[in-house]
A and B are shown apart, each in its own frame.
Chain A
Amino acid sequence: MLALFKSRSSEDSCDPVARVDDLWFRYGEEYVLKGISLQIRKRELVLVLGPNGSGKSTFLKVLAGILKPVRGYASLCGRDITSLSDADLARLVGYVHQNPWLYMFNSKVFDEISFVARNLGIDNSTITKNVLDIATKLDIIDLLDRSPFSLSEGEARRVVLASALIHKPPLLLLDEPTAGLDYGLKKRFIDIINKINNLLETAIVIATHDTDIITMLPKAKLLILNEGRIVFRGSIEDVLDNPSIFTKNNLVMPTEVELAQRLGIRWDRATDLDDLLLELDRLRKTLCR
């Protein structure tokens, strides 16, 4: 009873989930991350936007404990990241690389999803329960008996996401989760991420250059990273007050926002792509008349 109480209280105390303070990192001579400070609270959804080469993947790798900070401090659940063991890191962080095929080696999707849990020594009945649970949430229950190598790109991504969430880590890191997906699959994947964010306690960090997804993530806290520095932080509303921030940082404006801007409307959450298209239609008719 006491043990149960203890484990629960230690989990509850994992807030902020992650903290970095004046973080610097370099591979060679040149710094790739230049003094990043950030706090990630429980259940928070953080969207790190930045052009290619701005250091997003590097930042996620530091948070995952893969790369050690050269200068500055990073912690997970209040513990210095450099002091954490491989087991601690695996328990605290789910890391999803942009290439799902680099994960797959089991003969069945079920084993692929349960891999982390087995490494952490979780008992079999809990594993089976968790796999079924997460597979239902991510809509991949039919895939469990298939071979991972027969999956489509979108399915493979969901399987990898499930395998990163199987042990319910407090922090989930997604690197370019929508790269190579078409609009429909993208929307579906982001809906799943929103769902996870609502259902689980997990804090989520998404790194991407795909600005189209920001209008799909209304709750997200936005960061823009450029050349290793955070050049903007705020909510989606904040960034829409100043849309030139995208072009200034070598990012393209989200399609919906650009469309709205050109039509002289201010985009907000209520504006759907369909509304905009309706507006466009009206405009075309007026012009043709």
Chain B
Amino acid sequence: MSLTSIYLRNLSQIFLFYSEKSFLGKLHPLTKAVLMFAGIAIAFLCNKLVVLLLTLATFLSMALLSISVKRVASLITSLMIFISPMILFSYIYSIFRSPSTTSLIGLSASVATAIVRLLIMSLAFYIFFITTKPQSIARILNSIGIPYKYGHGFVIALRFLSVIASDLIEILHIQKTRGLFIRRNFLSRLRSSFAVFVPLIISALNRVDEVTIALEVKGFGLNSKRSYLYSEVFGFRDAIAVLLCLAGLAIAIRFCI
């Protein structure tokens, strides 16, 4: 119960826009998108653990500088909770198949590489989503030719995830005060899941309804083109940052291949 609750709380925060005050917040969204794709490309293309570790160190220090330590820690904890059963399973599998030291060492090396890759990719995603306003993401999607409708739908879906997760936490709290988790046989567990998911689905449907009405009355989607009141300026700082990203990507690929 408490583990679920911690996990949900972390999850609910993952996609929430955090702060503009950091140095990453001052960059153009497009620059940050380049940074994200550079990180993901390195994670995919590179096999050398050293290079991957250096990349991870770069992204980790950027995350720590622009997002709070606690949030980064909670992201990493959630990821680890999520993947630990898989790691455990691969070890058990490998021990049953060929219980030798060399195969265990080989497995550990590939598990370590996989973890580092996963961390790079999630930090790259995380840095982008948490330091970029949802509206800016929609604008970028729009500027590369995706109709505004879908860009905005994507943003609403992201926002919705965290709202639903916080509803879920609230429902778990409520049903806990009603003694939902006292009796522990199979039938009552089944019933417990009803007590949580029925209210969750109903509140989600209510929210969808509200969002739909709000969009409709604002004339959303009446016009395929829209104008923007605000827009970010791609400045000197951004040019430098993009160049650094591309240089980093080139060096990483040069050393890996």
Contacts and interface: CB of A to CB of B under 8 A. Distances in A.
Contact of A103 (B70, B174, B194): B174
Contacts of A116: 178-179
B178 A119 contact: yes
Interface in A100-128: 101-105, 115-116, 119-121
Contacts of B176: 66, 86, 89
Contact of B199 (A61, A86, A102): A102
B198 interface: yes
Given A29-B68, A29-B70, A102 B183 contact: no
Interface string A90-102: 1101110101011
B178 A163 contact: yes
Interface string B167-181: 100110111111111
Contacts of A119: 178-180, 182-183
Contacts of B177: 64-66, 89-90, 93-95
B203 interface: yes
B195 interface: yes
Contacts of A149: 202
Contacts of B179: 86-87, 90-91, 115-116, 119-120
Nearest to B69: A29
B170 A102 contact: yes
22 contacts: A64-B177, A66-B176, A86-B176, A86-B182, A90-B178, A95-B177, A99-B203, A101-B203, A102-B170, A102-B171, A102-B203, A103-B175, A103-B178, A104-B198, A104-B202, A105-B199, A115-B179, A115-B195, A116-B178, A119-B182, A121-B183, A163-B178
Interface of A: 28-29, 61, 64-66, 86-87, 89-91, 93-95, 97, 99, 101-105, 115-116, 119-121, 149, 163
Interface of B: 68, 70, 167, 170-171, 173-183, 194-195, 198-199, 202-203, 206
